[in-house]
Amino acid sequence: MSFVPGSFVNELPNVSRSAADAQPFGIVQVDDSGVIQLYNKWESEMAAVPVPSAEGKNFFTQVAPCTNNRLVFGKFKDGVAKGELDSEFNYTFTYKMKPTNVQIRLMRHAASRTNWVLVGMRAA
């Protein structure tokens, strides 16, 4: 079962910043090249990266370089190229933070052509 409620997934293309900030998991909207358009409060606090410092930068190469590999960025690029992406998997963050076990869900909303990186905590 996903850490992202199904009802919220349906709202994603139109989620407001305040609604995104109210969620108990990370929400990052990125364009097709990975540049951050929306970075919510949870993600900002978890990664200790202020929202203004993150938005406008590339999520995979500049803000979360631990995701710059085939496992995450490669999967994202493949999904964008195919026009469909919905993949959830376990991951471990250590960059500028204590060891943190997370789940990552990569999604592309085909109708709105928007891309989402969702991050939730998981037990070790």
Partner 1 sequence: MFAEQLLLIAQDSVTDIAAVGFASDVGLESDDTRLLRDYAGARVSAMRDLAGAMGDADDEIELYRTLAAFWLELRFEWQRNNEVMNYQTVLRGAADPRVIAEGSVGSFLLSRIETLLDPSHLEMLGRYAQELLANERHSVALKEELT
Stretch that binds partner 1, among 3-11, 38-46, 67-75, 112-120 (CB under 8 A): 67-75
Nearer to partner 1, 82 or 98 (CB): 98
Binding partner 1 (rule: CB under 8 A), the pick from 14, 96, 112, 113 is: 96
Binding of partner 1 at residue 68 (CB under 8 A)?
yes
- To the nearest 10°, report the CA torsion of 32, 115, 89, 11: 180
d(CA 67, CA 71): 7
* Residue 87 interacting with partner 1 (CB under 8 A): no
Q: Contacts with partner 1 in 1-40 (CB under 8 A)?
A: none
Listed ranges 13-21, 25-33, 63-71, 113-121: which one lies at the site for partner 1 (CB under 8 A): 63-71
**CB of 27: closest distance to partner 1 in angstroms?**
21
Among the residues of 1-124, which ranges form H helices? 6-11, 17-21, 41-47, 51-54, 75-82
Q: Are 71 and 79 in contact (CB under 8 A)?
A: no
Distances (CA, A) of 47 to 6, 77, 81, 95, 109: 25, 23, 28, 8, 25
| Piece of the chain touching partner 1 by CB under 8 A; list 23-31, 77-85, 96-104, 112-120 | 96-104
